[in-house]
Amino acid sequence: MEDKLKEIVKQWILKAEHDLNLIEHEVKVSDPTTDMICFHAQQSVKKYFKAFLIANQINYPHTHNIGTILKSCKDINPNFSQLTDSLILTHYAM
């Protein structure tokens, strides 16, 4: 993978991990904001999936729909079919 492409993938993964960090902090507070936890979970999954597509030089769909993005990932690697539980996160994109 060329250096520029690697850097783009690295940045998407870093952004996904930032979403996860926010979740980890929020779940520790006494009154967590659950809608924001769900929103950042959706954002994190979306960014990880898009990083995978970019790493495979596939144009990712411009959508918040996890199912649409997941389908593109499954087209490359059928093992992504094990991640269908992530589909529920689409409801928290807004």
Residue type, 8: I
User: How far apart are alpha carbons 41 and 1 in whole angstroms?
Assistant: 28
Count CB-CB contacts under 10 A for residue 41: 18
CB 40 within 8 A of CB 23: yes
pLDDT of residue 58: 95
Residue type, 77: N
pLDDT of residue 94: 77
pLDDT of residue 32: 95
pTM here is 0.92
Q: How confident is the model over 24-57, as pLDDT tens digits? A: 999 999 999 999 999 999 999 999 999 999 999 9
Inform me whether the pLDDT recorded for 18 exceeds 80: yes
pLDDT of residue 71: 97
Burial class of residue 76 in the structure, from the number of CB atoms within 10 Å of its CB (0-12 exposed, 13-18 middle, 19+ buried): middle
Copy the structure tokens of residue 69. 């993005």
CB 72 within 8 A of CB 61: yes
Share of the chain above pLDDT 70, in %: 99
